[in-house]
């Protein structure tokens, strides 16, 4: 039996690990990328759009549309947290690639997401790799979006572990906590992959050497941009390698059985010193009071991962391109 590939839209802020995830998607017969939507996070949105177009040109996939996303948070905040210290000022390892020839489509990211979900109700998966502003805007634009979108796989949160921006919060959630809360309680089929899981998927220095020895087009390109990402990890963590956040989250769309999940309600703290905290109610207790979690739709949260298999799959697919 030949299975139809799953249609996915990648919402992305490229980003070095975003580049890995996008290339991984192109090497994965299980999925068909029908569009990229862009968002701030690792870089500002305008640069995210340029980088998305550039990566499609590198991959020879300029047939794929890019829809530009929001420049501001859901609450119209223009003061954004940009992780250029992780990815370089250009978002792609300070390589200063020539500007792309292509242009984004006229439609906004949110309008594109709504349109595609309506065209194929229940059939499209959004893989969200940055702050969740575009997804929340799509939910606000069309009350049926949460029902029409097949699944939302999101990289975000730090479930029962410290964050990576501060002890409370992970970068994508603190990028737009209000948007994240809207997505978590939207009623859509949401799978959240937090850094409690992605910190187990490590590309070691030795893996990078293997990547460098491969003649694959994607492997060669990635080795060019990876230096900044490795040196950031060497400085920030004791781990001798880099976290494969975005490609690991993408694998949930490709092979969900590499992970286990718990189901429950997630709320996001939107103010105070724990702004951006993701709090999962594991439903072990029947609380005496009505809480902010009571009667909200549940989501799935990844809790364990076959990290060896995940790293091997990412390496194999990125090497032989």
Ligand X SMILES: O=c1[nH]cnc2c1ncn2[C@@H]1O[C@H](CO)[C@@H](O)[C@H]1O
Active-site amino acid positions: 13, 245
Nearer to ligand X among residue 81 and residue 312 (C-beta)? 81
Asked if 42 interacts with ligand X (CB under 6 A), we say yes
Which of 53, 83, 188, 201 is close enough to bind ligand X by CB under 6 A?
Answer: 83
Core vs surface per residue 294-320: b (16+ CB within 10 A) or e: eebebbbbbbebbbeebbebbbebbbe
- List the x/- string, 261-300, binding to ligand X by CB under 6 A: ----------------------------------------
Instruction: Give the number of residues in contact with ligand X, rule: CB under 6 A.
Output: 14
* Inter-helix orientation angle 16-26/217-236, to 10°: 150
Q: CB–CB of 56/50 below 8 Å?
A: no
Q: Is 164 in the site for ligand X (CB under 6 A)?
A: yes
CB 194 within 8 A of CB 268: no
Q: Is 15 in the site for ligand X (CB under 6 A)?
A: yes
User: Which residue number, 104 or 156, has a Cβ lying nearer to ligand X?
Assistant: 156
DSSP E strand stretches across the chain: 6-12, 31-38, 66-67, 124-128, 151-155, 190-193, 202-204, 241-243, 259-268, 278-281, 299-305
Using CB under 6 A as the binding rule, whether residue 245 contacts ligand X is answered as yes
Q: Please say which residue, 165 or 319, places its beta carbon nearer to ligand X.
A: 165
Quick one: 35 or 91, whose CB is closer to ligand X?
91
Interface residue list for ligand X (CB under 6 A): 15, 17, 42, 83, 86, 129, 164-165, 170-172, 195, 245-246
């Amino acid at each position: 039996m030949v299975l139809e590939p799953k249609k996915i839209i990648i919402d992305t802020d490229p980003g070095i690990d975003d580049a890995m995830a996008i290339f991984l998607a192109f090497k994965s017969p299980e999925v068909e990328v029908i569009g990229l939507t862009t968002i701030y996070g690792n870089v500002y949105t305008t640069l995210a759009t340029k980088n998305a177009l550039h990566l499609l040109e590198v991959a020879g996939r300029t047939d794929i549309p890019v829809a530009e996303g929001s420049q501001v948070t859901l609450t119209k905040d223009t003061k954004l947290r940009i992780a250029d210290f992780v990815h370089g000022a250009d978002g792609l390892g300070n390589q200063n690639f020539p500007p792309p020839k292509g242009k984004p489509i006229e439609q906004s990211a949110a309008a594109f997401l709504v349109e595609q979900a309506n065209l194929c109700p229940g059939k499209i998966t959004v893989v969200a790799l940055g702050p969740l502003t575009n997804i929340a805007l799509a939910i606000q634009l069309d009350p049926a979006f949460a029902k029409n979108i097949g699944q939302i796989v999101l990289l975000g949160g730090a479930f029962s572990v410290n964050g990576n921006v501060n002890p409370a919060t992970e970068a994508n959630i603190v990028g737009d906590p209000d948007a994240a809360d809207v997505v978590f309680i939207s009623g859509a089929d949401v799978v959240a992959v937090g850094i409690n899981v992605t910190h187990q998927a490590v590309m070691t220095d030795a893996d990078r050497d293997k990547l460098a020895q491969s003649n694959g087009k994607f492997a060669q390109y990635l080795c060019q941009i990876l230096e900044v990402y490795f040196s950031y990890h060497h400085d920030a963590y004791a781990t001798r390698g880099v976290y494969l956040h975005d490609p690991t989250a993408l694998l949930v769309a490709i092979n969900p059985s590499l992970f286990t999940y718990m189901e429950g309600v997630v709320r996001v703290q939107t103010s105070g010193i724990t702004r951006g905290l993701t709090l999962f109610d594991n439903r072990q207790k029947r609380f005496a009071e009505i809480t902010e979690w009571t009667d909200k739709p549940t989501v799935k949260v990844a809790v364990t991962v076959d990290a060896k298999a995940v790293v091997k799959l990412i390496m194999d697919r990125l090497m032989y391109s």
